[in-house]
Structure 1
Amino acid sequence: MPVLRGAVTFSRFLVEPDKEAPADLKRSLSRALKARAFAPIDRRAEEERATGFVELENSDGTEFAAGSIFYGEYALFAWRVDTIKIPGPVLKAEVEKWAAAFEKEKGRPPSRGEKNENKSSVRQLLRNRAVPLTKVHDISWNLKTQQLQIWAASRKAVEEAMAGVETAFKVKLIPLVPAAVAQRTGIDDSALGPTAELIGMELKAEEVSHGEA
């Protein structure tokens, strides 16, 4: 839990409610989180990923009681991503093992249809046995300043959690990076470049002046 452990890898945003956002976001937080709560991967389906919100200190928790969300002026929760992916070489090896046993028993290689049917069965068996890869990304939302932080290093993870927040809460997240802040405050892009002092131009000018003296 980076929010509570002090890690520093996060992306910062300004929260802007849109026209559909409820007037009192704090009252609607729990309901919105439940509506987009994490649900485990359906192993009988074809999906390889499952995403959704969970409680900050319980990656299986989706009740979102007020005591698990609010910490002073902050709302704290998390975005969970589970992935189940059967490696192609593993599936191929299992099918080939079955095909060899089939040929030994039947005295002939399996037909394409038989092989495809078994491949589906083997894949389902492997999915049932697989342990999902779970990643949890903390989210902190200052309800007073309307600044939100997504604690993730991967750009894809940040963008996915960002989309989840925007959809669930009917808000727009504005990245708080220098270029975006400058645009919002009317500062020209050229003012964001390195100054002469930063790149040493002023020092060089002084050195030339002393040399001429």
Structure 2
Amino acid sequence: MPVLRGAVTLSRFRVEPAKEAPSDVKRWLTRGLKAHAFEPIDRRSEEERAVGFVELENEESSEFSAGRLYYGEYALFAFRIDTIKVPAAALKAELAKWAAAFEKENGRPPSRGEKTQSRGEIRQMLRTRATPRTSTVDVSWNLKTQQVQIWSASRKVVDEITVALEGGLNVKFFGMTPSAMAQTAGIDESLLGPTTELIGMDLPATAEVAHGEA
């Protein structure tokens, strides 16, 4: 739980409402999180992944009561990711057992169609028995400064979280990296290069002139 136990890699954003700012921020945020709350994988479907928001200290709950969501000026919650996959080796082993039993009972090997049908049935059986792998990503939202921190090193997961929040809350996320902040301020990104003080050596004279002229 990085938010409560120490620093790890994170992404920081500034949030702005797409239209008017909500009059009741807490109610607005709670409603948005519930709209994208986590729902378990339907084992009868072909889904291999399920995602959604849950409470920070209880990944099984998406009630988001005030006492479990708000900590002073912060809203703390998590993004849960469940994945479920049937190992290819297990499927192959079970199919081989079935084929051997079929041939012993019927005096012939199963046809391609029979093997295809059995493969689907065995896969569903193994899927039903499998335990989903669960991971969570902590999210911290400062309701006063409207800054959001997402505690993940995965660009894909960070993008998935921001898209869900933007859609559920009708807001826009702006990255707070140096390059993104420079772009917002209208500063040429080429001016963000290392200085002589930073790298501890003199730059060539031509580079210094070019930098000064820019």
Q: Please name the residue that 1:34 is paired with.
A: 34
Moved more, 157-166 or 126-135: 157-166
1:19 maps to: 19
- Per-residue CA deviation, residues 86-119 of structure 1 (Å, 9 max, x unaligned), is 1222212211211111101110111222211111
**CA displacement 1:21-72 (0-9 Å, x = unmatched):** 7443322121111111101000011100000000000000111111111000
Number of residue equivalences: 205
Matched residues in 2 for 1:56 and 1:156: separation?
A: 21
Look up the match of 1:168: 168
Worse-superposed segment, 37-46 or 110-119: 110-119
What is the CA–CA distance in structure 2 between the aligned matches of 1:184 and 1:203, rounded to whole Å?
Answer: 28
1:197 equivalenced with 2:197 (yes/no): yes
- Pairing 1:37-48 to 2, within 5 Å after superposition: 37-48=37-48
Q: Which residue of 2 aligns with 1:8?
A: 8
Q: Could you tell me how far 1:190 is from its partner in structure 2?
A: 2.5
Aligned to 2:210: none
Give the TM-score normalised by structure 2: 0.90
1:7, distance to aligned residue in structure 2 (A): 2.5
Indicate the RMSD between aligned Cα atoms, in angstroms: 1.8
Name the structure 2 match of 1:70. 70
Alignment of 1:66-105 (within 5 A): 66-105=66-105
| 1:115-166 CA distance string (max 9 Å, x none) | 1111111111101110101010000000111100011122222111121211
Measure, in 2, the Cα distance between the counterparts of 1:156 and 1:77.
Answer: 19
Alpha-carbon spacing, 1:204–1:32, altered in 2? closer, same or farther (3 Å): closer
Unaligned runs of 5+ in 2: 206-214
Residue 40 of structure 2 aligns to a residue whose secondary structure is: coil
Which amino acid letter does the alignment assign opposite residue 177 of structure 1? T
Relative to 1, partners in 2 of residues 1:106 and 1:28: Cα closer, same or farther, differing over 3 Å?
same
CA–CA separation in structure 1 for the residues paired with 2:114 and 2:7? 52
154-163 or 168-177, larger mean C-alpha shift: 154-163
Distance of 2:21 and 2:125 partners within structure 1: 44
CA contact (8 A) 1:21 1:169 kept: no
CA distance in 1, matches of 2:49, 2:89: 20
Q: Which amino acid aligns with 1:49?
A: R
Give secondary structure in 2 for the equivalent of 1:136: strand
Q: Secondary structure at the match of 1:156?
A: helix
SS in structure 2 at match of 1:38: coil
In 2, Cα distance between equivalents of 1:31 and 1:199: 49
Decide whether the 8 Å contact of 1:12 with 1:176 is kept in 2.
yes
Give, as a single letter, the amino acid of the residue that structure 2 aligns with 1:151: W
* Cα distance between partner residues in 1 of 2:150 and 2:53: 12
Change over 3 Å in CA distance of 1:80–1:20 after alignment to 2: farther
Deviation at 1:186, TM superposition (A): 2.3
- TM-score, normalised with respect to structure 1: 0.90
Q: Which residue of 2 aligns with 1:210?
A: none
Residue 74 of structure 2 aligns with an amino acid whose one-letter code is Y
